[in-house]
């Protein structure tokens, strides 16, 4: 193989990854799978796609070795192929943040002037939560919380918020977080909490950012929960 042929072949492989990321819906699928394993039907519901279109996008991601799958009974479950996929996805975000003014404008228009943000570093957040100074809530769907969450965070999916407000203390700040810095779930939760008189803010970083930065993560032990329910 000549040098020119080698370079063409190498860049063609790089282009396979770029092509897999060249769809907004495929990027959203990576974002969802970075939170935890999902079946096709759940992914279709989250992204607003049909099951057939979701499967088609997943096959493209799988062909580029960005996701993996396994079958359980009649359902197929997908997951990201490794931590380097998450690093690549977050790197794509940083690249867009550095060069696309349109992205900054979109964020500013949606989230407003930032008065709902808690620009707290992860270590300080953990210290304040342990000291009982703040209550940290994870507003992602429960299965995402069970796959991994911040230590001490309470699972309070945004869809359940209206029915569970009484569980939250009114004498301390509520800090909500969700999937990533562009996730809208925490913003929705904060708006609802503030309307009910709570001192609520959303964490500037999302779960993916904190996990990638090395922040400790807890998971739910399903076997322990089963044993506890038998006693």
Summarize pLDDT for 84-116 with one digit per residue, the tens.
999 999 999 999 999 999 999 998 888 876 666
Residues 176-198: tens digit of each pLDDT: 999 998 999 999 999 999 999 99
Residues 117 and 60 in one domain: no
Inside any domain, residue 103 = no
Residue 178 is a catalytic residue: yes
- Average pLDDT over the chain, rounded to whole? 89
Residues 137 and 60 in one domain: no
- Could you list the residue range(s) of the whole structural domain that residue 121 is in? 111-212
Domain count within the chain: 2
% residues pLDDT > 70 (the chain): 91
Q: Are 83 and 211 in contact (CB under 8 A)?
A: no
Residues 122 and 77 in one domain: no
Question: CA–CA distance from 127 to each of 75, 135, 136, 172, 204 (Å)?
Answer: 41, 11, 11, 14, 17
Inside any domain, residue 97 = no
Inside any domain, residue 44 = yes
Q: What is the CATH number of the domain that holds 15?
A: 1.10.10.10
pLDDT at residue 230 in the model = 36
Inside any domain, residue 105 = no
H/E stretch holding 222 reads helix 222-230
As a whole number of Å, the CA-based R_g of the chain is: 20
Inside any domain, residue 40 = yes
Residues in the chain: 231
For residue 229, pLDDT beyond 90: no
| pTM for the structure as a whole | 0.84
Q: Are 137 and 167 in contact (CB under 8 A)?
A: no
Give the torsion sign (CA, 212, 216, 217, 221). Answer: positive
Q: Which two tokens stand for residue 62?
A: 């799988």
Sheet-wide strand order for 173-177: 117-118, 200-203, 173-177, 134-138, 154-155
Q: What is the CATH number of the domain that holds 152?
A: 3.40.250.10
Report the C-alpha gap between 90 and 120 in whole angstroms.
20
Measured in degrees and rounded to the nearest 5, phi and psi for residue 75 equal -105, 145
Domain end point (choices 85, 100, 127): 85
Q: Are 66 and 30 in contact (CB under 8 A)?
A: yes
| Set 125, 137, 153, 178: catalytic member | 178
């Amino acid at each position: 193989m000549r040098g020119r042929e080698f370079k063409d072949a190498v860049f063609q492989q790089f282009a396979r990854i770029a092509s897999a990321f060249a769809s907004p819906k495929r990027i959203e699928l990576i974002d969802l799978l970075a939170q935890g394993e999902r079946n096709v039907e759940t992914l279709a519901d989250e992204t607003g796609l049909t099951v057939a279109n979701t499967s088609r996008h997943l096959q493209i991601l799988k062909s580029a070795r960005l996701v993996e799958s396994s079958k359980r009974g009649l359902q197929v479950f997908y997951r990201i192929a490794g931590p380097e996929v998450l690093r690549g996805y977050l790197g794509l975000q940083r690249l867009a943040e550095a060069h696309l003014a349109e992205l900054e404008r979109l964020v500013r228009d949606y989230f407003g002037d930032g008065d709902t943000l808690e620009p707290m570093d992860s270590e300080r957040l953990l210290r304040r939560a342990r000291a009982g100074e703040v209550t940290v809530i994870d507003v992602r769907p429960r299965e995402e919380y069970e796959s991994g969450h911040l230590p001490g965070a309470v699972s309070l999916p945004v869809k359940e918020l209206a029915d569970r407000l009484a569980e939250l203390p009114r004498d301390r700040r509520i800090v909500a977080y969700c999937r990533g810095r562009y996730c809208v779930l925490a913003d929705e939760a904060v708006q609802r909490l503030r309307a009910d008189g709570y001192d609520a803010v959303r964490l500037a970083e999302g779960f993916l950012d904190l996990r990638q930065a090395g922040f400790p993560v807890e998971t739910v032990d399903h076997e322990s929960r089963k044993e506890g329910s038998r006693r």
